[in-house]
Amino acid sequence: MLPVKSKYKVAKRLGANIFEQTQTQKFALSEARSQKIKRGGRGRGGSDYGRQLLEKQRTRYTYGLSEGQLANYAKVAYTEADPSTSLHRRLEMRADSVVYRSGIAPTRRAARQLVSHGHITVNGRRITTPSHQLKKGDVLSVREGSRKSPLFAKFSDAEETEQRAAPHWLSFDKSTLTVEVTGEPLYTPLETTLDYPVVFEFYSR
């Protein structure tokens, strides 16, 4: 796992949305100053390869994937009728992504840890693989024996009001810490800022 300083360096190249630690006002102001300095100097056009590499890295860091994992996802998705939608669906339907997107975990990293440490079940079966693929109709829950853990204390606090809204294809029941997959994620600007066609360009070289 990258240290915070390294994450700031990566985010300056790939964008603030890559890591939770860089989605702050302090980072935004620092980035604005850097962009102002760049505009005042001599610009340098990026190559197609550089553009493709950056987008591939943005996607990889956003979902916390290894090089091999993303390459495999892209390879399978590229064989389908709508590769971009297929890739987005596979990334969003990962167990760790569903845990994060539902609001059970505050960050994707925390979501991966919850799954790998055995706190999550899918259709009543305990899982420990963050990449476990869910489908429409599946029910993901916090394991009964884990619900009293301090990790989930905020959901039992009557005064807790801040809660990230789940996307349209997930239904989250806060009282039971249960998420039902009621639909499928769509590849739209509302769902993601990632440019998957450029990622496919990288892998098709």
Q: Which superfamily is assigned to 94-181 in CATH?
A: RNA-binding S4 domain (3.10.290.10)
DSSP conformation letters of 44-82: -PPPHHHHHHHHHHHHHHHHT--HHHHHHHHHHHTTSSS
pLDDT digits (tens, 9 = 90+) for 20-33: 655 554 544 455 45
| DSSP bridge partners of 92 | none
Q: List, for residues 123-159, the tens digit of each pLDDT value.
A: 999 999 999 999 999 999 999 999 999 999 888 765 5
